[in-house]
Amino acid sequence: MVNYTHILKIMGEYVEKCSVTLKSIRQQISPIIKDITDTEEEYDILMEVIPKFYRDNWNNPKEHLLMQGNKGDIFENEGTEGAVSTPNEAVIESLKNGLVLSIHNHPSDSTAYQSLGDYVTQCVGTKEKYGITISKKDGVVISKLTSKQVGRNKLSNTYNKIYTKMGDNFDKDKKAEIQSLKDDYHANKITLDQINKEYNDLFHEHMSENIHEYVNTLNTGFSNNNIPVEVYHAPIKRGG
């Protein structure tokens, strides 16, 4: 017997993926890329790399990393659902002087909002000018490093204060849903693994719903603490 539901699901995923064209992505991100890049060369590189990477990885179930220099050096690596490793020291040294960007995806229903690890890697480790993340929820988030003099402790302390504020907002915004999860757990309706997963899903949903607010919060926090990073968000609509 033909499973039409399964066939329709596959067809739907295929149509959605095919509708994410390079032309559409370029049109959507071009204005912000033009605003934030300092040279035509940087604009050309970002406009070449980001659309292709997004088209190929917005629905990738594993994290995928690409790093590119201004001479066309490219490093790629694919990790797991939750992490991807950066290059070893030899590769980093070979790219560092001309490293323009790194870009990786956040899989599943995660937000493109960047973690402390993302910022430490960019600002303290590889020091690329543009650190980029993508997700199917939020499109593209770009962090521009405007100076390579960034202290790890100062960056970590500043980010953690900002993240705590975001966590407080999440607790207030999703108070009813969080309490419902706790009630279900204490009533033995869901397991600890289930409550952790649903809590995590709620958090990413909240971050995605408030991505513009949190980009602004990051920029204010970084600026007030003299962290030389500017954060930008470029939403991407798929299909239609």
Minimum mean pLDDT range among 31-45, 82-96, 149-163: 82-96
Residue 160 placed within a domain: yes
Residue 129 placed within a domain: yes
Measure the CA–CA gap between 98 and 235, rounded to whole angstroms.
28
- Residue 15 confidence (pLDDT): 44
- Residue 83 confidence (pLDDT): 83
| pLDDT band at 1; cut points 50, 70, 90 | low
Q: Looking at the predicted structure, is the pLDDT value of residue 76 above 70?
A: yes
Domain coverage including residue 94: 4-234
Question: Furthest-apart CA pair in the chain: how many Å?
Answer: 65
Residue 105 placed within a domain: yes
Residue 240 placed within a domain: no
pLDDT digits (tens, 9 = 90+) for 92-149: 776 666 789 999 999 977 889 999 999 999 998 888 999 999 999 889 999 999 998 8
Q: Where do the H-state alpha helices sit in the chain? A: 4-18, 22-36, 40-57, 89-96, 116-120, 152-173, 175-186, 192-209, 211-224
How many domains, the chain? 1
Q: What mean pLDDT comes out for the span 8-29?
A: 69
| pLDDT band at 8; cut points 50, 70, 90 | very low
Q: Looking at the predicted structure, is the pLDDT value of residue 61 above 50?
A: yes
Q: Which two tokens stand for residue 136?
A: 């199917």
145 neighbors 166 (Cβ within 8 angstroms) = no
